[in-house]
Amino acid sequence: MFSIAMIAVLITMVMALARALMGPSVYDRILAVNTFGTAAILFIAVLGFLMGRPEFLDIALVYALINFIGTIAVLKFFKYGNLGYSDEDSEGENA
Amino acid sequence: MSLLLEILSWIFIVSGSFFCVTAGLGLLRLPDFFSRTHAGGVMDSLGVGLLFVAMALQAPGYLVIIKLVFIYIFVLLTGPAAIHALTRAAVHSGEIPLLPNEPDHSEDTSSKP
Which of A76, A45, A12 shows the shortest CA–CA distance to B26? A12
Average pLDDT for A43-51? 91
Residue A93 resides in a domain: no
To the nearest whole percent, how much of chain B has pLDDT over 90? Answer: 35
DSSP secondary structure string for all residues of chain A: -HHHHHHHHHHHHHHHHHHHHH-SSHHHHHHHHHHHHHHHHHHHHHHHHHTT-GGGHHHHHHHHHHHHHHHHHHHHHHHHS-TT--GGG-SS---
End-to-end CA distance of chain B: 48
Taking an 8 Å cut-off on Cβ atoms, the answer to whether B74 and A65 are in contact is yes
Question: Is the per-residue pLDDT at B110 higher than 70?
Answer: no
pTM of the model: 0.82
Query: Which residue range forms the structural domain that includes residue A24?
Result: 2-82
Q: How confident is the model at residue A76, as a pLDDT?
A: 79
pLDDT tens string B68-104: 999 999 999 998 888 998 888 888 887 777 777 655 5
pLDDT tens string B35-48: 899 998 888 888 89
A59 or A83, greater pLDDT: A59
- The ipTM estimated for the assembled molecules is 0.81
Contacts of B90 in chain A (CB under 8 A): 25, 27
Taking an 8 Å cut-off on Cβ atoms, the answer to whether B82 and A61 are in contact is no
Residue A94 resides in a domain: no
Q: How confident is the model at residue B20 (pLDDT cuts 50, 70, 90)?
A: very high
How many domains, chain B? Answer: 1
> In chain A, positions 41-80, which contact chain B (CB-CB < 8 Å)?
41-42, 45-46, 49, 54, 57-58, 60-61, 64-65, 67-68, 71-72, 75, 78-79
Contact A46, A4 (CB under 8 A): no
Contacts of B81 in chain A (CB under 8 A): 68
pLDDT tens string A4-44: 999 999 999 999 999 999 878 888 898 999 999 999 999 99
Q: Give the lowest-confidence range in A74-78, A80-84, B108-112.
A: B108-112
Q: What is the distance, to the nearest Å, from the Cα of residue A45 to the centroid of all Cα atoms in its chain?
A: 15
Query: Which residue range forms the structural domain that includes residue B88?
Result: 2-109
